[in-house]
Amino acid sequence: MSTMPSSVPVVTRAEVEAPGAHPREPGRPHVAVLVSLNFPDLTEPVAELVRRFTRSALVATTEAGASYTLVDSSDPRELEAALVWGRDADALFVLGGGDIAAACYGGPEGEVPNSYGVDEAADRASLAMIRQYADADRPVLGICRGSQLINVAYGGTIVPDIEDYHLHRGGPGEPMFLDEKVEVLAGSRLAEIVGAGPLVVRSGHHQAVDRVADELVVAARALDGVVEGVEHPTRWVLGVQFHPEDDDGSDRELALLLKAMLVAARGRSAGDDLG
């Protein structure tokens, strides 16, 4: 299938916005949700994944008791504005999307196998937003690309392409997303939220965290040792490589992660009110 020009808005806000979402209200947690709705070379099958996953994440955010502002990192004007108003949001939720530009983490020059959706300007602005929130001690939750961006924001690196990919995504002619068993490490914040030990998740990725940033620790691994979760040991900064927002799987982990993020953002008493 031919690719679509990056200048054409393939995915629109109307297709992903959560029904009944409310603007920010006093006493209600407000989340900045960062995602690229239209990255370069977007094909229609991948665009449909962006629609479905983004919609699922936004609905879950409102169901957790928060309002949100969607920040489309494929729009430079939105990113520039968000770096200003974003200081007023209570937390940052970074969704999945295209690959991170190798230049952002000192990766290889030239063509990366299976590379797609690279937008270096969006990457660098997203990294700045992550550090803005983390440095202000505001919670940051990342999914897939979001988890990788967290690692890069703290100085870590990325595996450009997982050669033995069978645990992590479907092969040629197969569905991209599959069920994967990961091990959540005991003693981690992630374990406190979703439980320690084996966990079956939805995965569909060809990149992953390589060298974990010095300030971060591993929170989960795949059966082949690939990093499936990273976190800051003292700040509420947490990334998961898998996709809890994939509605073909369980919604348990996403609900637990969002509730924990909002508890951290607003304090224990506000978190208790979220149900």
State if pTM tops 0.75. Answer: yes
pLDDT in tens, 44-58: 989 999 999 999 999
On the CB side of 113, CA atoms within 13 Å amount to: 8
Catalytic residue among 168, 205, 206, 243: 243
Active site residue 245: yes
Contact 233, 213 (CB under 8 A): no
Active site residue 144: yes
Which pLDDT does position 188 carry in this prediction?
98
Write down the residue that tokens 């997203």 correspond to: 126
Catalytic residue among 144, 205, 206, 231: 144
Which pLDDT does position 271 carry in this prediction?
38
CB neighbours (10 Å) of residue 228?
Answer: 30
Nearest CA among 273, 248, 254 for reference residue 263: 273
Which pLDDT does position 131 carry in this prediction?
95
- CA torsion sign, 156 to 162 to 163 to 167? positive
Contact 183, 219 (CB under 8 A): no
Active site residue 243: yes
Give CA–CA dist 38/4, Å, rounded.
Answer: 10
Which pLDDT does position 22 carry in this prediction?
67
Catalytic residue among 180, 228, 231, 245: 245
Q: Which residues of the chain have pLDDT under 70?
A: 1-9, 21-22, 85-87, 267-275
Which pLDDT does position 267 carry in this prediction?
64
Domains located in the chain, CATH noted: 13-155+236-272 (3.40.50.2300)
